Amino acid sequence: MPDAIPVFTGFGLGLRKQHHREFLDADQPVDFVEIISENFMACGGRPLATIEAVRERLPVAMHGVSMSLGSTQGLSRDYLAELKALARRIDPLWISDHLCWTGVDGLNTHDLLPLPYTEEALAICAANIALAQDVLERPLLIENPSSYVAFPDNTMQEWEFLTALTERTGCYLLLDVNNVYVSSVNHGFDPAAFLRGIPAERVRQMHLAGHSAGPGGMLIDTHDAPVRAEVWTLYREAAARFGPGATMIERDDAIPPLGELLGELAIARKIAGERLAA
């Protein structure tokens, strides 16, 4: 079993290239930043130098989108080696990826594709997570994705699947509060049941993001807008149950000025502070 990940409490942002200069030129009022690992793997040069400079000021979490933990074909050893090399340079708070699969036969679809929540899929995911943790020599944080379809042969809920993964592999959880809300609307479950259903002691980080209305009453996890009121309400419950942990705003498109994201982060600080005081 890999070593435990200590609790880190703070408020951060996903670091996007539009804001690199501001993070390099001055201290910003954040406690950590999160990078997309793939943007800096095997690239070297200026992007990596930028992250290493930011790392001198702030803790950095590494967040991946291509490990494909649900793959029936196992994990790419080359990918894991590149990820480990980046982790050696960054010394991150932790490394996270999603509960999904992203491709087949070496093809990366660049989508977070949904898994059936079955015993068979659980065994595959657990084996892949165990392998990744052995190679990386650290536990992973696993994030709940947004989903738009469900499999008819599901035998458990997403939160039961995640809980079983923590028990089988010793992994931790990155709770994306927006993804819980989006999936709860798309699939008609109670988002509070999701929060109650995962082990509080395994949650190390929370994502907050914006979503958009899709066709037929569905919600789409677009990350291109401010956090919606419904998600702030759910975050209030999450902060009460899990503490703030490492909470961050995750904006990936229509990137606004840094001040706007810091304003959203101030709301998260206020909500978490009120919950802790209560």
Sites of contact with Fe ion (CB under 5 A): 176, 207, 250
Rounded least distance, CB 190 to Fe ion, Å? 20
Name 107's Cβ contacts closer than 8 Å, sequence gap at least 6: none
Contact yes or no for 64/39 (Cβ under 8 A) = no
Amino acid sitting at position 189: F
Cα 237 to chain centroid distance, Å, stands at 18
Identify how many contiguous H helices and E strands the chain contains and give both numbers. 9, 12
Nearer to Fe ion (CB atom), residue 51 or residue 173: 173
Nearer to Fe ion among residue 54 and residue 175 (C-beta): 175
- Which of 36/127 has CB closer to Fe ion? 36
Nearer to Fe ion, 207 or 275 (CB): 207
Token duo for residue 15: 């670091």
CB of 221 to Fe ion, least distance (A): 8
User: Minimal distance in Å, beta carbon 180 to Fe ion?
Assistant: 10
Three-state SS for 227?
coil
Q: How far is CA 99 from CA 39, 201, 214, 237, in A?
A: 20, 19, 22, 23
Tokens 């967040």 appear where?
63
Nearest approach, Cβ of residue 277 and Fe ion (Å): 27
Rank residues 112 and 121 by Cβ distance to Fe ion and give the closer one: 112
- The nearer residue to Fe ion, 59 or 145, going by C-beta atoms, is 145
Q: Which residue has the tokens 């703070």?
A: 10
Please, is 259 exposed, middle or buried when counting C-beta atoms within 10 Å of its C-beta (0-12, 13-18, 19+)? exposed
Task: In angstroms, give the least distance from the CB of 143 to Fe ion.
Answer: 5
Q: Minimum distance between the CB of residue 179 and Fe ion, rounded to whole angstroms?
A: 6
Instruction: Give me Rg for the CA atoms of the chain.
Output: 18
Considering the complex, what minimum distance in angstroms separates the CB of residue 152 from Fe ion?
A: 26
Q: How many CB atoms lie within 10 A of CB 184?
A: 19
**Of the two residues 19 and 207, which places its CB atom closer to Fe ion in the complex?**
207
* Residue with Cβ nearer Fe ion (31 or 221): 221
10-14 and 107-113: which strand pairing? unpaired
Helix H or strand E segment including 86: helix 77-90
Task: With residue 23 as reference, give the H or E element that holds it.
Answer: helix 20-25
Name the minimum Å distance from CB 205 to Fe ion: 9
